[in-house]
Amino acid sequence: MNQLLFERSCGNIGPNVFARLQTTKLLNSFRPAPEFRFDGGEKGIAIRDDGKGAIAPDPDSTTWAHQTGVNALALERFDGRILVSGGLDASIKLWDLEQCDNPSKAHTYTPAAKIPRSNQAHKFGITHLSFYPFDSAAFLSTSYDQTLKVWSTETASLSASFNLGYKAYTHAISPIASHLLVACGTQHPAVRLVDLRTGSNVQSLAGNSGAILATSWSPRHEHVLATGSVNGVVKIWDIRQAGGVIGMLDQEDSLGLYYNGLLDANGKVRVRASAKAHAAPVNGLAWTDDGGYIISAGHDRRIRVWDAATGRNTLASFGPSIRNSQLAGVTMFTSPVGLTHPGKELLFWPNETEILVLDLHDGHVVSKLRGTGPAMAGVRSTGGTQRTVKNRISSIVWRGAGGGGGSSGVVMGGSNMAGAIYTAHLDGQIRAWTPRLEGDDEEDEDDSLDAVSEGKAKKRKALDDIFKGLVGKKITFT
């Protein structure tokens, strides 16, 4: 850091390069922050894996965000202040992240508002949460109870409810569009478009042959939508067109397609009959914040990066370490374009019980974030019931240093340009991750220097003892 400050003061590097270098360093240094906890007020005794495969009660741990497991998270993108969590018990809780006055000290967050399971609220587990893109005053939720609901953030009250008719896995609302359409992925093969302005189901995008597990709007073109289904197909739609589909992503295509088909030898467009992006269900879709690339993830343990302009598979290889098995939408995010050096964007992937920080374009693992708890965890409630679950990360959000959530909310400024990460876990916890700051590095260096110095002192003392022992012996000749 001192070298970077020196180079900047000398004019060898500009302010933008300095910011990118420092931010890249912070992005590569995330670590668990167990000093920040989320207490939803539920009582019971935790059950932990002792590391040898045995499950035993842990009376010291009695704090959960949602005792039955946290299944979804959403962070408002403007101030990054309100975090919403959804549980497997159909409850929703709102957390004020500014509740902690001093972020350098440990803090236990308590809910600012609670929405319990009821006939008016959701009846079954929450599957996905998102904030209204232009105002943090409202957020949306989908559930296994086949409904999409709109809530008031300020009053935690229901504003609107839509019956989708099928189990809902995910939903998405465009971050830039004025049409206010919510794309819902359900058990039904047709994507349902719900208009928040008129309060009706205005359109269905038919043409899939299986349930829709992932939906994501383009951040550049307001009418372009990407969907992923259980048959491994990723389709690109223009909702203004009658047919809808303008492209299909093909894992075998490394050259690129012109939407609605390929160019043959005569330069004419021929329609692509079928194509598969993955060999198994696709349950993850995301765009880079500039709309240049689409990232897809499937049960075939593959993550693929596609050129959004041509549909070309960039052939980025993420190796055999990818884990993906949940039959539900999976969340991931990329670092904003411009925050790091061009072509060095990072992908943050929830890899079961760890977070992988991956290079978006060549796929290599930059770092692995671990420390999320035991592989198996559970709870024994006050009612006497007991359950154990695999401690999997079910959702992940990023709070930028400027407060904003997701990639578009990151502001390059302040002492911590990389912000914080929050993850939802099926053991009922919400966990925080923060970058390692310069002071922490210095402390580590001091500790390591002390350890090295202590080791050298021990060796020196041992050699001195040996020397003194040899010199101090009286030698006689006979």
How many C-beta neighbours within 10 Å does residue 87 have? 26
Helices and strands (H and E) in the chain: how many: 3, 35
- Chain position carrying tokens 């969340």: 331
User: Six-digit token pair at 201?
Assistant: 């189901």
Q: Report pTM.
A: 0.82
Q: Which residues pair with 307 in a beta bridge?
A: 293
3-state SS of 176-207? CCCCCEEEEEECCCCEEEEECCCCEEEEEECC
Tens of pLDDT, residue by residue over 238-270, are 998 877 788 899 999 888 754 445 555 555 545
Closest CA to 56 of 357, 388, 461: 388
Rounded distance between C-alpha atoms, residue 247 and residue 266, angstroms? 20
Task: Give the dihedral sign, CA 29/35/37/42.
Answer: positive
- Chain position carrying tokens 């019956």: 163
- Work out the end-to-end distance of the chain between its first and last CA atoms, rounded to an integer number of angstroms: 68
**Ranges under pLDDT 50 in the chain:** 258-260, 269, 271, 406-417, 441-449
- Chain position carrying tokens 């509740």: 99
Query: Domains in the chain and their CATH numbers?
Result: 32-436 (2.130.10.10)
Q: What is the predicted pLDDT for the residue at 37?
A: 93
Calculate the alpha carbon distances from 411 to 21, 84, 270, 416 in Å: 15, 21, 44, 10
Q: What is the predicted pLDDT for the residue at 404?
A: 54
Rg, the chain, Cα only: 26
Q: What is the predicted pLDDT for the residue at 446?
A: 45
Q: What is the predicted pLDDT for the residue at 386?
A: 62
Q: What is the predicted pLDDT for the residue at 376?
A: 62
Q: What is the predicted pLDDT for the residue at 444?
A: 46
Tens of pLDDT, residue by residue over 68-78, are 899 999 999 88
Rounded distance between C-alpha atoms, residue 62 and residue 43, angstroms? 6
> Could you tell me if 378 and 385 are in contact, meaning their C-beta atoms sit under 8 angstroms apart?
no
Rounded distance between C-alpha atoms, residue 151 and residue 157, angstroms? 6
Q: What is the predicted pLDDT for the residue at 471?
A: 55
